[in-house]
Homo-oligomer: A and B are copies of this chain.
Amino acid sequence: MTAPIRQKWQSVRDEVRQRIHAREWPPGALMPNEADLATEFGCARTTVNRALRSLAETGLLDRRRKAGTRVAQQPVAKATFEIPVMRKEIEARGKRYRHELLSRAVSVPPAATAVAMGCGSGAKCLRLRALHHADERPYALEDRWVNLAAVPEARNEPFSEISANEWLLMQVPYTHGAIAFSATSASNAVAIPMGCKNGASLFTIDRLTWNKAEAVTKVRIFFQEGHQLHTLL
């Protein structure tokens, strides 16, 4: 069923992976060098290099100059998650998306937030709280701070029609960010709009976004009870 792999570097990658799984090259073993493998596989060294590099990126191989390439002793699992725009995530599940702005106000964030964003302790930020609905059922609650020093245009944007989630992506480029996953217990302020019990266990994403040296936005998203984030290894 699966189409045969035509690309040579993928064949090499698969063959190497195969040998590792077959214990031909057990964990910790030193593999032949690139030039020898290229000869054996009848291809250019560049091709072997690409294959081995891709395996090293997944953590299966450990490569060092002069020391050579070794099979990792304890491969560290690397899981890559895609964090799509909320609208797309919901529509991809075949549900209808709706965005509801709960509150919008300019204020000075609490000290902990200001520190995390690295903006002055008296800096004005725009705070937005919004619900993302899937088929009219609350799917996620978003609690966001937007740094007005970095994004002055946000002051004039109502965010009633378009979610801050999407608006920021369109308007403001970002250079880097940090993200954290955790589990939190629903407080009243969260449980009431979400329609879940107080104390319910909610999957939570915290995300901080920067543009150069300036924090753009900090957002915490609470997902409805039972929400899971999946991926393949």
Contact = CB atoms under 8 A, between A and B. Distances in A.
A7 interface: no
A7 B74 CA distance: 30
Contact of A228 (B180, B185, B226): B180
A45 to B, nearest CB: 14
A182 B79 contact: no
A112 interface: no
A226 to B, nearest CB: 7
Contacts of A203: 181-183
Contact of A227 (B182, B206, B233): B182
Interface string A32-76: 000000000000000000000000000100000000000000111
Contact size class for A? 35 or more
The count of identical subunits is 2
Contacts of A85: 74, 76
Interface in A117-159: none
Given A85-B74, A173-B23, A185-B201, A79 B232 contact: no
Contact of A78 (B81, B180, B200): B81
23 contacts: A23-B173, A74-B166, A74-B169, A76-B83, A78-B80, A79-B80, A80-B80, A80-B81, A81-B81, A176-B233, A177-B232, A178-B231, A178-B232, A179-B232, A180-B229, A181-B181, A181-B203, A182-B226, A183-B183, A183-B202, A183-B204, A185-B201, A199-B201
Interface of A: 20-21, 23, 27, 59, 74-85, 88, 166, 169-170, 173, 175-185, 199-204, 206, 209, 211, 223, 225-233
